[in-house]
Amino acid sequence: MEHSAIDRAAEILMRSELAAIPTETVYGLAGNALDENAVAKIFAVKNRPFFDPLIVHAGSKEAFEPYISEWPEAATLLAERFWPGPLTLLLPRTSLISDLVTSGMERVAVRVPNHRLTLELLSRLSFPLAAPSANPFGYISPTRPEHVAAQLGDKISFILDGGPCTVGIESTIVGFPDGVPTIYRLGGLSVESIEEVVGKVEILQNPNRSPGAMAGHYAPTKKLLLGDVADMLKSYPNAATLSFKNEYPSPYLRVLSPSGDLTEAAANFFRFMRELDATPAELILAETLPEKGLGRAINDRLRRARS
Ligand code: TXA
Ligand code: MG
């Protein structure tokens, strides 16, 4: 059953069509990264602007050798320590990677995802997979196969069902301008974990041409207000509410982690945003989390999603 699902995904990808694939972070909308037809379909299905480049996925660091011209030492250290895992590296590309994938930039974003089915799938393919998150451009990212089916189901050939994503927020993106490890997007690997390996890192607030880091991303359809939830509920008693660990008197309440665990909060974050967006409430109230560990990445998304 599982094998036949992987076979099916492999066969679809080999004929330049798209399949949704599970990863530990979020579901990806995958196509052959070396085939411009497949890559163009990704942009079309997501309604994604061509200036927003894609992440390329492979099964191991070695599998990237033909596509990367140079590995800064810090990149090698990070890849060896955290791959497979929620870490994307921005590295200089070779000519095998097209301008369409990188939006003309000289560096390509690469990552080895940590999901058993997708690693098995990658081991059967002779090419890497370009895969953005499998949501329409700008909307909440999918962490379950049914999220993909609800939004893109009629536009893609196949969804490889790998269950719920365990990390739940996108990979952390690290580049090395002038050799300095620099975070372009906060994500599922904490800043603290990265700094244990390479020392102090820079964090870019508004990275040039990294639309995943733009305001208005990850946004629900409803208006989202960020602040003191107890206070805001006095003005909007019927609002839907996303809390970190406390109960509030909201008619539609989701508590990210009753025990205050930031990793658990990340795993629930996008699903709860979707569920609150689907309630009859007119708006969503949310509060920021402690600014450490995965709390930073969740706060980053909340700030960009707010109205
Ligand atoms: O966890 C993840 O990273 C997921 C899973 C599917 O791997 N993918 C993901 O892809 O989040 P996407 O397309 O939703 O976000 C990728 C981000 C975009 O904001 C894009 O601008 C940035 O990566 N990016 C990709 N290539 C880049 C490049 N060459 N230079 C700078 N930023 C780049
Ligand atoms: Mg995305």
- Half-sphere exposure in the Cβ direction for 32 (13 Å, CA): 18
Rounded to 5 degrees, what angle do the CA atoms 131, 136, 139 make? 110
Q: Strand ranges (DSSP E) for 95-198?
A: 107-111, 129-130, 158-159, 172-175, 182-185
Instruction: Please give the pLDDT value at position 4.
Output: 94
Instruction: Please give the pLDDT value at position 215.
Output: 62
Q: Any idea of the CA torsion for 228, 190, 47, 95, to the nearest 10 degrees? A: 160
Binding pocket residue ranges, ligand 1, CB within 6 Å: 23, 25-26, 28, 52-55, 88, 90, 102, 105, 107-109, 111, 113, 131-133, 170-171, 173, 184, 210-213
Q: Which residues pair with 12 in a beta bridge?
A: none
Please tell me the distance from the alpha carbon of residue 136 to that of residue 275, in angstroms, as a whole number: 17
Instruction: Please give the pLDDT value at position 214.
Output: 61
Starting at the earlier edge strand, list the strands of the sheet with 158-159. 158-159, 19-21, 28-32, 129-130, 55-57, 107-111, 87-92, 172-175, 182-185, 202-203
Instruction: Please give the pLDDT value at position 205.
Output: 82
Locate the ligand 1 atom nearest the alpha carbon of residue 57 and give its number: 7
Cα–Cα distance list, 52 to 113, 210, 285 (Å): 20, 7, 29
Return the best residue to mutate from 55, 159, 300 for the ligand 1 pocket (most ligand atoms within 8 A of CB).
55
Q: Which ligand is nearest to the CA of 52?
A: 1
3-state DSSP call for residue 187?
coil
Q: Which ligand is nearest to the CA of 85?
A: 1
Locate the ligand 1 atom nearest the alpha carbon of residue 170 and give its number: 1
Instruction: Please give the pLDDT value at position 307.
Output: 75
Residue closest to 250 by CA, chosen among 229, 277, 228, 224: 229
Cα–Cα distance list, 81 to 156, 172, 195 (Å): 34, 14, 12
Sign of the torsion angle spanned by Cα atoms 176, 182, 187, 191? positive
Ligand 2 centroid–CA 234 distance in Å is: 34
Task: Please state the length of the chain.
Answer: 307
What mean pLDDT, rounded, does the chain reach? 95
According to DSSP, residue 259 is labeled T
Q: Which ligand is nearest to the CA of 140?
A: 2
Return the best residue to mutate from 89, 169, 173, 204 for the ligand 1 pocket (most ligand atoms within 8 A of CB).
173
Ligand 1 centroid–CA 54 distance in Å is: 5
Token pair listed for 276: 């609150």
Sequential pLDDT tens for the chain (307 residues): 577 999 999 999 999 999 999 999 999 999 999 999 999 999 999 999 999 999 999 999 999 999 999 999 999 999 999 999 999 999 999 999 999 999 999 999 999 999 999 999 999 999 999 999 999 998 999 999 999 999 999 999 899 999 999 999 999 999 999 999 999 999 999 999 999 999 999 999 876 545 555 666 788 999 999 999 999 999 999 999 999 999 999 999 999 999 999 999 999 999 999 999 999 999 999 999 999 999 999 999 999 999 7
Please tell me the distance from the alpha carbon of residue 226 to that of residue 243, in angstroms, as a whole number: 11
**How many other C-beta atoms lie within 10 A of the C-beta of residue 222?**
18
Q: Which ligand is nearest to the CA of 55?
A: 1
The tokens 């990850």 sit on which residue?
A: 218
Q: Whose CA is nearest to atom 12 of ligand 1?
A: 132
Instruction: Please give the pLDDT value at position 3.
Output: 76
Cα–Cα distance list, 157 to 1, 11, 105, 294, 297 (Å): 18, 11, 30, 33, 32
Q: Whose CA is nearest to atom 3 of ligand 1?
A: 171
Q: Which domains does the chain have, with CATH numbers?
A: 2-203 (3.90.870.10), 223-306 (3.40.50.11030)
Ligand 1 centroid–CA 132 distance in Å is: 6
Cα–Cα distance list, 179 to 12, 23, 56, 199 (Å): 39, 29, 21, 13
Instruction: Please give the pLDDT value at position 217.
Output: 77
Q: Which residues contact 24 (CB under 8 A, 6 or more apart)?
A: 84, 85, 86, 113, 114, 115, 165, 166, 167, 188
The pTM (predicted TM-score) of the whole model is 0.95
